[in-house]
């Protein structure tokens, strides 16, 4: 359900009182008027209305939600979101004026004369998965609302605070067996709750063959939830054998006896897919080939996984040196690894596939990141500026150790726009539940660091819930238990013959994509071309890379803003899901 609410008048708004205006599905319960999305999963509270009536301000609740609660008697508006700020909500702030919405374009259209494109933000987003700030967006005066926020507006006065922050307090005496039993019970309860909430409606999920797919399949089918799965992939990249991701996903589907469809990459309706992406996931990397919304019409709601992996901490968490984490986050977020000349990329990929040791994060050397084509394509390009901004953001987020720092980075920067596992532009169309939050997330603060080393807890968990799952290889065809060097080499060769199937670079050379990219780039836009070298980018090989699709997306996005073409995004089929 899309909403907008605030103290700034706008066209077609309804009134809450003399100073507050809104659009959206408002529910009334006596003196309370509630505008919300998401759900409460907490034994203290029956649902969102119950939470509002017995302690929205005073008590914290588990779940995924954005809640606006207006008290007619006290004329007080309260906003609260969950601990992770899982569902994005945006806020316009200028002086005492404010607007909140889960569709940023609603705000942009209303305040178009009081906002603009932040050129520093545009440059940053061109070169990274997202901006390197917890709250900044591409638009001036429009912010991503922080997680764990309590906001109160009463009689023209605004009160705002954060009520929670992730802290890591491991329990050294906690045994893996105990943690697994508790997590298993929690996930069973969670999937049972989801089943009750949705009845016999069909749950959909992306079955890529990884850990998330296995857990969703296990608990959904154990709970007897009607389930349909899918994978967006290339079935046979090399024309003979199935790619590993579809191959493994079929094994999981056979084990649990559910239907798993393979949706191949397509160049159909590319501009529509760009527009859907810009509308529903504007501040993250391009999802143009993984959001085929017209083909995902066989389920009613969705369960999504985890992008980036909090279930296995990065090696930098083993150190307590903040600089190690900065280096990891900088590499994880950056597009320089996707923007190297083709020969250097070939050698990097070959080293990775053949497991030849080299430093993927190194700046120097033949395969070093300093060779990124961004130094030519982006005007006044200086990666040190990005590193300094990221370092400033990490200092702002704080943390007493690298686990604490990483989870805060993960929540507030690396996945702040990727709550649906990196498929936000299409997953936003469905009521979506999140596998690891709140169940795993609220327990992991107590897990000793050794639980995360080499995915120790994750592997043991899979073996515990279903040993047959542990006998299915991962997406790289390697087994979770020790195997011989000869076996690993054999599987590495097989992997080379199969491919992962998740690479859509070949689609970027299709006539449809090339024409669309050319048409978008040829349109004049002084905003965009104050940051990007217009002469050099035209026809550059970089356009036909993953990072290049994000450049095209951002060019179209800035065109929509520059030419005020808001109607391009007003498609009923792009509406965010109702809760």
Residue 423: pLDDT band (50, 70, 90) is confident
Q: What is the average pLDDT value for the chain, to the nearest integer?
A: 93
Cβ atoms of 131 and 124 closer than 8 Å:
yes
| C-beta of residue 333 within 8 angstroms of C-beta of residue 417 | no
Report whether pLDDT(395) > 60: yes
**In whole angstroms, how large is the CA radius of gyration of the chain?**
24
| 41-55, 94-108, 449-463: segment of lowest average pLDDT | 449-463
Q: What is the spatial distance between Cα 412 and Cα 397, in angstroms, rounded to a whole number? A: 8
CB atoms within 10 A of CB 350: 12
Strand spans (E) along 365-505: 431-434
Write down the pLDDT at residue 417.
64
pLDDT average, residue stretch 149-160: 95
- 265-290: average pLDDT: 94
Q: How confident is the model at residue 248 (pLDDT cuts 50, 70, 90)?
A: very high
Count Cα neighbours of 93 within 13 Å in the Cβ-side half-sphere. 11
**pLDDT mean over 498-505:** 92
φ, ψ dihedrals at 466, nearest 5°: -165, 100
Cβ atoms of 168 and 445 closer than 8 Å: yes
Nearest C-alpha neighbor of 16 from the set 72, 79, 56, 68: 72
CB neighbour class for 290 (10 Å; exposed up to 12, middle 13-18, buried from 19): buried
- 297 or 308, higher pLDDT: 297
Structure tokens at 565: 């073409």
Question: Which H or E element spans position 434?
Answer: strand 431-434
CATH classification code of 4-162: 3.60.20.10
- Please determine, for residue 308, whether its predicted confidence score (pLDDT) is greater than 60: no
Other beta carbons less than 10 A from residue 331's beta carbon: 16
Q: How far apart are CA 490 and CA 242, in angstroms?
A: 17
**Burial environment of residue 402 by CB neighbours within 10 A (0 to 12, 13 to 18, 19 or more):** buried
Q: Are 487 and 473 in contact (CB under 8 A)?
A: no
| Range from 4-13, 354-363, 458-467 carrying the lowest mean pLDDT | 354-363
pLDDT at res. 170: 95
Question: Which of 43-47, 51-55, 303-307 shows the lowest mean pLDDT across its residues?
Answer: 303-307
Q: Which residues pair with 231 in a beta bridge?
A: 262
Tell whether the model's pLDDT for residue 309 goes beyond 70. no
How sure is the predictor about 492, in pLDDT bands with cuts at 50, 70 and 90?
Answer: confident
pTM (2 d.p.):
0.94
Collapse the DSSP code of 506 into the 3-class scheme (helix H, G, I; strand E, B; otherwise coil) and give the result: helix
The number of beta carbons lying within 10 Å of the beta carbon of residue 464 is: 16
Do the strands 63-71 and 32-40 form a parallel or antiparallel pair, or are they unpaired? Answer: antiparallel
Cα–Cα distance, 320 to 157 (Å, whole number): 42
**pLDDT, tens digit, for every residue of 20-36?**
999 999 999 999 999 99
- Whether residue 12 is predicted with pLDDT greater than 70 in this model: the reply is yes
Q: Are 167 and 442 in contact (CB under 8 A)?
A: no
Do 136 and 121 form a contact (C-beta atoms < 8 A)? yes
Query: Dmax of the chain from CA atoms?
Result: 75
Residue 216 has pLDDT above 90, yes or no: yes
In three-state form (DSSP H/G/I as H, E/B as E, the rest C), the secondary structure along 29-67 is ECCEEEEEEEEECCCCCCCHHHHHHHHCCCCCCCEEEEE
Q: Which residue in 259, 174, 187 sits closest to 465, CA to CA? A: 187
Q: How many helices (DSSP H) and strands (DSSP E) are in the chain?
A: 20, 17
* Per-residue pLDDT, 307: 60
Nearest to 314 by CA among 394, 237, 410: 410
Instruction: Give me the torsion for CA of 47, 53, 59, 65, rounded to 10°.
Output: 40
Tell me the domain boundaries of the chain. 4-162, 176-307+419-498
**Can you tell me whether residue 431 is helix, strand or coil?**
strand
CA distances from 429 to 227, 337, 432, 511, 571 (A): 18, 31, 9, 29, 12
- What CA–CA distance (Å, rounded) separates 518 from 297? 31
Grouping H, G, I as helix, E, B as strand and the rest as coil, residue 300 is: coil
Nearest-5° angle of CA 299, CA 305, CA 306?
155
Q: pLDDT-based confidence at 169, cuts 50/70/90? A: very high
Residue 49: CB atoms within 10 Å: 19
pLDDT at residue 318 in the model: 85
Q: Which CATH class is domain 176-307+419-498?
A: alpha beta
Q: What pLDDT does residue 356 have? A: 85
Give the per-residue pLDDT at 419. Answer: 60
Mean pLDDT of 417-443: 84
pLDDT score of 27: 96
pLDDT 10s digits, 115-126: 999 999 999 999
Q: Is the pLDDT of residue 173 over 90?
A: yes
Contact by Cβ (8 Å): 143, 151:
no
**Per-residue pLDDT for 180 more than 70?**
yes
Q: What is the pLDDT of residues 554-563, one digit of tens each?
A: 999 999 999 9
Q: Which among 222, 420, 454 has a CA at the least distance from the CA of 317?
A: 454
Alpha-carbon distance of 102 to 435, in angstroms, equals 22
3-state secondary structure at position 479: coil
pLDDT at 85 over 70: yes
Average pLDDT over residues 290-311: 86
How far is residue 300 from each of residues 120, 215, 370, 419, 429, measured CA to CA in Å?
40, 20, 46, 18, 10
Q: Can you tell me whether residue 408 is helix, strand or coil?
A: helix
Percent of the residues in the chain that have a pLDDT greater than 90, as a whole number: 79
- The confidence score (pLDDT) of residue 241 equals 95
pLDDT tens digits, 311-345: 778 888 888 899 999 999 999 899 999 999 888 98
User: How far, in Å, are 364, 383, 386 from residue 369 at the CA level?
Assistant: 7, 10, 14
Matching residue, tokens 């007493």: 400
Is residue 305 very low, low, confident or very high in pLDDT (cuts 50, 70, 90)?
confident
For residue 151, whether the previous peptide bond is cis, meaning omega lies within 30 degrees of 0, is: no
For residue 455, what pLDDT is reported?
Answer: 82
Q: pLDDT tens digits, residue range 96-121?
A: 999 999 999 999 999 999 999 999 99
């Amino acid at each position: 359900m899309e909403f907008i609410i605030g103290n700034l008048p706008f066209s077609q708004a309804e009134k809450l009182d003399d100073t507050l205006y809104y659009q959206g599905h408002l529910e009334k319960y006596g003196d309370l008027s509630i505008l919300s999305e998401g759900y409460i999963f907490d034994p203290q509270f029956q649902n969102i209305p119950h939470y509002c009536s017995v302690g929205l301000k005073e008590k914290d609740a588990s779940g995924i939600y954005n809640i606006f609660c207006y008290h007619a008697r006290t004329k007080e508006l309260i906003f609260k979101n969950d601990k992770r700020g899982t569902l994005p909500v945006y806020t316009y702030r200028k002086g005492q004026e404010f607007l909140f919405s889960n569709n940023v374009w609603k705000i942009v259209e209303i305040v178009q004369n009081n906002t603009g494109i932040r050129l520093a933000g545009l440059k940053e987003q061109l070169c990274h998965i997202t901006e390197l700030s917890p709250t900044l967006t591409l638009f001036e005066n429009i912010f991503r609302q922080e997680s764990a926020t309590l906001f109160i507006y009463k009689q023209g006065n605004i009160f705002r605070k954060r009520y929670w922050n992730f802290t890591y307090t491991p329990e050294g005496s906690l045994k893996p067996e105990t943690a697994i039993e508790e997590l298993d019970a929690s996930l069973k309860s969670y999937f049972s709750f989801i089943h009750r909430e949705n009845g016999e409606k069909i749950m959909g999920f992306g079955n890529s063959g990884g850990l998330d797919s296995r857990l969703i399949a296990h608990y959904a089918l154990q709970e007897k939830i009607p389930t349909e799965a899918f994978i967006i992939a290339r079935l046979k990249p090399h024309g003979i054998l199935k790619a590993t991701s579809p191959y493994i996903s079929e094994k999981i589907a056979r084990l649990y006896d559910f239907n798993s469809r393979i949706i191949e990459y397509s160049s159909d309706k590319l501009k529509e897919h760009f527009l859907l992406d810009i509308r529903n996931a504007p501040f993250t990397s391009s999802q143009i080939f993984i959001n085929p919304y017209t083909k995902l019409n066989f389920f009613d709601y969705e369960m999504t996984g985890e992008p980036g992996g909090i279930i296995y901490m990065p090696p930098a968490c083993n150190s307590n040196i903040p600089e190690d984490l900065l280096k990891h986050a900088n590499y994880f977020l950056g597009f320089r690894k996707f923007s190297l000349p083709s020969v250097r990329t070939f050698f990097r990929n070959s080293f990775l596939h053949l497991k030849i040791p080299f430093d993927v994060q190194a700046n120097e050397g033949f395969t070093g990141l300093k060779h990124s084509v961004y130094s030519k394509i982006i005007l006044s390009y200086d990666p040190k500026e990005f590193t300094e901004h990221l370092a400033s953001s990490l200092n702002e987020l704080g943390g007493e150790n690298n686990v604490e720092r990483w989870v805060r980075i993960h929540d507030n920067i690396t996945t702040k726009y990727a709550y649906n596992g990196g498929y936000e532009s299409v997953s936003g169309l469905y009521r979506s539940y999140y596998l690891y939050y709140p169940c795993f997330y609220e327990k992991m603060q107590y897990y000793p660091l050794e639980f995360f080393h080499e995915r120790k807890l994750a592997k043991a968990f899979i073996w515990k819930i279903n040993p047959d799952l542990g006998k299915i290889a991962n997406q790289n065809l390697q087994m979770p238990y020790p195997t011989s060097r000869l076996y690993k080499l054999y599987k590495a060769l097989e992997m080379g013959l199969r491919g992962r199937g998740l690479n859509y670079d070949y689609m970027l050379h299709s006539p449809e994509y090339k024409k669309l990219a050319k048409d978008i780039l040829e349109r004049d836009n002084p905003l965009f071309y104050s940051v990007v070298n217009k002469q050099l980018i035209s026809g550059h090989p970089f356009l036909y890379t993953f990072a290049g699709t994000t450049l095209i997306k951002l060019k179209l996005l800035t065109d929509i803003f520059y030419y005020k073409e808001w109607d391009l995004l007003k498609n009923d089929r792009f509406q965010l899901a109702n809760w």
